[in-house]
Amino acid sequence: MVLLQISEPGQSPQPHQRKNAVGIDLGTTNSLVSVVRSGMPETIADQAGCHLLPSVVHYSTQGVDAVGQEALGFNVSDPLNTISSVKRLMGRGINDVLMLGDQLPYAFQQLDEGMPKIDTVHGLISPVQVSAEILRTLVNLAEQSLDVMLDGAVITVPAYFDEAQRQATKDAATLAGIKVLRLLNEPTAAAIAYGLDAEQEGIIAIYDLGGGTFDISILQLTRGVFEVLATGGDSALGGDDLDHAIAQWLRVQSGMNESLNPMEQRILLEAAKAAKEELTEIDHVNVAILEWEGSLTRSVMNGLIDDLVARTIRSCRRTMRDAGVSVDEIQNVVLVGGSTRSPLVRDKVSKFFGLQPMCSLDPDSVVALGAAIQADILVGNKSAGDMLLLDVIPLSLGIETMGGLTEKIIHRNATIPVSKAQEFTTFKDGQTAMVIHVLQGDRELVDDCRSLAKFELRGIPPMVAGAAKIRVTYQVDADGLLNVTARELTSNVESRIEVKPSYGLGETEITKMLQDSFSYARDDMQARALREQQVEADRMVEDLLTALAKDATSLLSEEEIQCLNLAIAELQKLRLETTEHRVLARKIEAVGKTSETFAARRMDASIKSALAGRSLEDIERG
The confidence score (pLDDT) of residue 14 equals 46
Beta partners for 418? 476
The confidence score (pLDDT) of residue 5 equals 39
* Residue 25 is a catalytic residue: yes
d(CA 488, CA 424): 9
Helix (H, G, I), strand (E, B) or coil at 383: coil
Residue 9: cis peptide before it, omega within 30 degrees of 0: no
* Residue 208 is a catalytic residue: yes
d(CA 409, CA 400): 11
Number of Cβ within a 10 Å radius of residue 324: 10
The confidence score (pLDDT) of residue 371 equals 93
* Residue 87 is a catalytic residue: yes
The confidence score (pLDDT) of residue 267 equals 87
| Candidates 162, 163, 171, 186; catalytic one | 186
- The continuous run of DSSP H or E covering 611 comes out as helix 596-611
Could you tell me which of 500, 594, 515 has the C-alpha nearest to residue 163?
500
List the domain boundaries for the chain: 21-238+305-391, 393-507, 520-611
The confidence score (pLDDT) of residue 3 equals 42
d(CA 391, CA 199): 19
DSSP code, position 23: E
d(CA 489, CA 470): 6
d(CA 453, CA 443): 17
Could you tell me which of 19, 413, 502 has the C-alpha nearest to residue 185?
413
Residue ranges in the chain whose pLDDT is less than 70? 1-17, 99-103, 111-114, 195-200, 223-225, 382-391, 403, 500-525, 527-528, 610-622
Helix (H, G, I), strand (E, B) or coil at 456: strand
Helix (H, G, I), strand (E, B) or coil at 350: helix
| Candidates 87, 117, 170, 276; catalytic one | 87
Could you tell me the CA-to-CA distances from 431 to 460, 497, 563 in Å, in that order?
Answer: 7, 21, 88
b/e map of 485-503 (b: 16 or more CB within 10 Å)?
bbbbeeeebebebebbbbb
| Candidates 78, 133, 171, 208; catalytic one | 208
Asked if the domains at 21-238+305-391 and 393-507 fall in one CATH topology, the answer is no
| Candidates 25, 133, 171, 364; catalytic one | 25
Number of Cβ within a 10 Å radius of residue 37: 13
CATH code of the region 21-238+305-391 = 3.30.420.40
What's 393-507's CATH class? mainly beta
Q: Where are the alpha helices (DSSP H) in 101-185?
A: 127-146, 163-175
Beta pairing class for 397-401 and 284-289: unpaired
Could you tell me which of 260, 332, 261, 253 has the C-alpha nearest to residue 293?
253
Helix (H, G, I), strand (E, B) or coil at 393: coil
Give residue-wise pLDDT tens across range 410-456: 887 777 788 888 888 887 788 888 888 888 877 777 877 778 888 88
Give residue-wise pLDDT tens across range 533-556: 887 888 888 888 988 888 888 888
d(CA 79, CA 525): 26
Q: How many CA atoms lie within 13 A of 579 on its CB side?
A: 5
Number of Cβ within a 10 Å radius of residue 79: 21
d(CA 316, CA 207): 8
Answer for the pair 409, 474: CB distance below 8 angstroms, yes or no: yes
Cα angle 498-94-68, degrees, rounded to a multiple of 5:
85
Going through 210-308 in order, the beta strands assigned E by DSSP cover 214-222, 225-234, 284-289, 292-297
Q: Where are the alpha helices (DSSP H) in 279-365?
A: 298-323, 343-353
Answer for the pair 101, 260: CB distance below 8 angstroms, yes or no: no
Could you tell me the CA-to-CA distances from 233 to 75, 207, 208, 440, 509 in Å, in that order?
Answer: 29, 9, 9, 16, 32
pTM across the whole model: 0.68
Which residues, at least 6 apart from 392, have a Cβ–Cβ distance to it below 8 Å? 159, 228, 229, 230, 231, 412, 413, 414, 415, 416
Secondary structure string (H, E, C) spanning 173-219: HHHCCCCEEEEEEHHHHHHHHHHHHHCCCEEEEEEEECCCCEEEEEE
Answer for the pair 163, 440: CB distance below 8 angstroms, yes or no: yes
d(CA 396, CA 216): 17
d(CA 557, CA 598): 10
Give CA 575 to chain center in angstroms: 36
Could you tell me which of 137, 142, 136, 131 has the C-alpha nearest to residue 43?
142
Answer for the pair 415, 392: CB distance below 8 angstroms, yes or no: yes
Is domain 520-611 in CATH 1.10.1740.110, yes or no? no
* Residues making up the chain, counted from first to last: 622
Could you tell me which of 307, 158, 335, 310 has the C-alpha nearest to residue 169?
158
Q: What is the dihedral of CA 47, 49, 55, 57, to 10 degrees?
A: -30
Could you tell me which of 218, 191, 233, 237 has the C-alpha nearest to residue 87?
237
